[in-house]
Structure 1
């Protein structure tokens, strides 16, 4: 009986002793907080500005997530909601929804999601906030440490039996000059500035 009790205690101790992932920090070194508005900016200036919304093609809707062409453009403010909405601090490598705070001219949400378009997996803004699981798997992103900065990753873990395609989010420049966020071999290195 004692060996079983010792094994149970050891298992509980190991699971309780695992540290939380590191918190994500903004440009001022402050913790990123759920529900607070931030601008997502490129680390390398001279290669475009912050993230914003733009029409996919000649029609006005739907809107996709793009990088502003001008580096002086901070883009639109956005918020982050972790998979557990009761958590106030955004942590590295944890599932979260990314939501633009601005109003949209289209009848769509401003929640980021991954969608196939024209042979690429692009980031659009008509996802569903919350409800982690198979139905919303394309709506969950992660912020991961990359060198001394951060990158965005699509590799949701909100569904135990799902096997999503995982990849870094980078910038894909289309023929018409739009700088769409999409799955890419080259990650879009970002930093966060409080709005």
Structure 2
């Protein structure tokens, strides 16, 4: 019975949303839990994202952009909330570095309004 309720819930979410799936650079939908690199779309704008130290932080708790175009940064995983089969443009996401940075308890991202 729980499986049926879950399937119906997922179908309702899929039917009621008009959001398009988020696509990778090749035009394929992002797969939840797969590894991706976040890169700028223009060459010459620097490299990918990686954990690093900023300000007075003593551990790499910030998400920073690499200076070099040749540095792809560190891979991340995207998990939609709620967990569904694809990632629509209007969904909440958990973003996590695949490797937890040294000296940090979690690779999960937290966004703050500045």
Do both share a fold (TM > 0.5)?
A: yes
Contact 2:33 2:79 in 1 (8 A): yes
Structure 2 CA distance, aligned partners of 1:59 and 1:84?
A: 32
Instruction: Flag the structure with more relative contact order, 1 or 2, with Cα contacts below 8 A and sequence separation at least 6.
Output: 2
Q: After TM superposition, give the deviation of residue 108 of structure 1 in Å.
A: 2.4
Structure 1 CA distance, aligned partners of 2:31 and 2:49?
A: 19
How many pairs does the alignment contain? 102
Q: How does 1:148-163 map to 2 (within 5 A)?
A: none
Structure 1 CA distance, aligned partners of 2:34 and 2:79?
A: 10
Runs of at least 5 residues in structure 1 that lack an aligned partner in the other structure: 1-14, 122-195
State the structure with more CA Rg.
1
TM-score by length of 2: 0.78
Q: Does 1:25 align with 2:23?
A: yes
Aligned to 1:100: 97
Q: After TM superposition, give the deviation of residue 103 of structure 1 in Å.
A: 2.8
Runs of at least 5 residues in structure 2 that lack an aligned partner in the other structure: 1-12
TM-score by length of 1: 0.47
Structure 2 CA distance, aligned partners of 1:82 and 1:30?
A: 16
Residues 1:22 and 1:64: Cα distance change in structure 2 (over 3 Å): same
Runs of 4+ in structure 1 over 4 Å off:
none
- More displaced stretch, 58-67 vs 74-83: 58-67
